[in-house]
Amino acid sequence: MPAPAEPVSPRLIRPSEAAGLEPPTFSPRGNTRFRRGLVVHALLARLPEIAPEQRRTLALRYAGAQGVKDAEALVRETLAVLDDPAFASAFAPGSQAEAGLVAELPELGKGARVNGRIDRLAVTESQVLILDFKTNRPAPRNEAEVPKVYLVQMALYRAAAAKIFPGKRVVCGLVFTDGPRLLQLSERALDAEIAGMASRLDPQGVGS
């Protein structure tokens, strides 16, 4: 009797591979703006666990202890991100920090799989909110200026979340810690990235 077919080994899809690009890198040594970004990142991770009326005081204390010179401005802008109506649920009670995300994406080829870690994740009755933090300097002013590898990354996360939470709308955004600035990504742009990835990674349409 013929031997049974071997199962397809998982093929981990990395954003840089899917985009055909490498993300920009920056040297943190001696870079004040990089250190400032780390403070913003820490505040965005920790402040959601603190009562809203206590956040400003504790954030100023933390920023000051880290040697941030413009602590008032940094805290004001960071709190504005937390309170942004579009992604308020991503920082509300019940949201998650550093959430793992694993899903099979056969539309990108046999064995295609995404395994990522999301900076902020929130699941509501109707939608899934995904935020990822970036340290680019200066921050993009609009979606057209966002590095392609980041669009590919978020498109993969969105596709994976759609598998895990069927029937829910998946909304994605990037928080650039230089500012900080919150930028919501359009469904049109993310759909286009998935279509482009499928043509590159599964040119024969085997996965479909």
Q: Where are the domains of the chain?
A: 31-201
pLDDT at 33 over 90: no
CA-based torsion, 18, 146, 134, 151: positive or negative: negative
pLDDT, mean of residues 54-83 = 92
- Candidates 98, 167, 93; CA nearest to 128 is 167
Q: What is the pLDDT of residues 166-188, one digit of tens each?
A: 999 999 999 998 878 899 999 99
Right CATH for 31-201 from 3.40.50.1820, 3.90.245.10, 3.30.1490.20, 3.90.320.10: 3.90.320.10
Give the C-alpha separation, 112 to 128, whole Å.
22
- Please give the model's pTM, rounded to 2 decimal places: 0.81
